[in-house]
Structure 1
Amino acid sequence: MDQNIYEIYSELRKTKEELVQRLKNKQCSPLVKPYIEGELKDIETALQKLETGTFGTCEISGELIPKELLTIIPTLKSIDDCKTVSYFIRKASS
């Protein structure tokens, strides 16, 4: 596992633990709980992909998802997600 992927894996595991603790300790409002559960599910999916070697591959087309975007949002699932995210990411002006 290269260093970048290892860092993503470590960060996802840490975030997963934080979310699980938040849910167990009931430290979230009922309005926020579904969002935390959704994020937790996405993180678990990304971790599973890292463990099986399919991380960074589009679930629809099989294309590779750009590493730059996975570094920012490691829970991306498809190229379509990338297009949506890219719309909101601004490139630095020269």
Structure 2
Amino acid sequence: MDMNTNEIYSELRKTKQELLQRLEDHNGSPLVKPYILGELKDIESALNKLEKGTFGTCEISGEILPQDLLALIPILKSVEDCQTIRYFFRKT
């Protein structure tokens, strides 16, 4: 893993721990739990990809995803996800 990938891996692991702690918090809203579980699934998927060496490639086409977007949102899965994000980030 290169330096940027190591930083992403470390941040994903921290986020996973935070999400697990929120799930264990019995004072949390049950309405939020499904969203936390969904986020946790995405984080675990990204961690798995990093460990397998497939992180940063589109799950559909196999194309390489833009590093700038992955640094911001490491749970991106496809080129389509990247296009959607870029649409919302575009300047007016």
C-alpha displacement at 1:30, in angstroms? 1.4
Matched, 1:64 2:68: no
Unaligned runs of 5+ in 1: none
Q: Which amino acid counterpart does residue 84 of structure 1 have in structure 2?
A: T
**Matched residues, percent identical?**
70
Unaligned runs of 5+ in 2: none
Written as runs of structure 1 = structure 2, the 5 A alignment for 1:11-30 is 11-30=11-30
C-alpha displacement at 1:31, in angstroms? 1.4
The separation in 1 between residues aligned to 2:59 and 2:38, in whole angstroms, is: 18
The separation in 2 between residues aligned to 1:27 and 1:16, in whole angstroms, is: 19
- Give 4+ residue runs of structure 1 displaced > 4 Å after superposition: none
Matched, 1:37 2:42: no
C-alpha displacement at 1:47, in angstroms? 0.0
Bigger CA drift: 30-39 or 63-72?
A: 30-39
User: Secondary structure at the residue paired with 1:71?
Assistant: helix
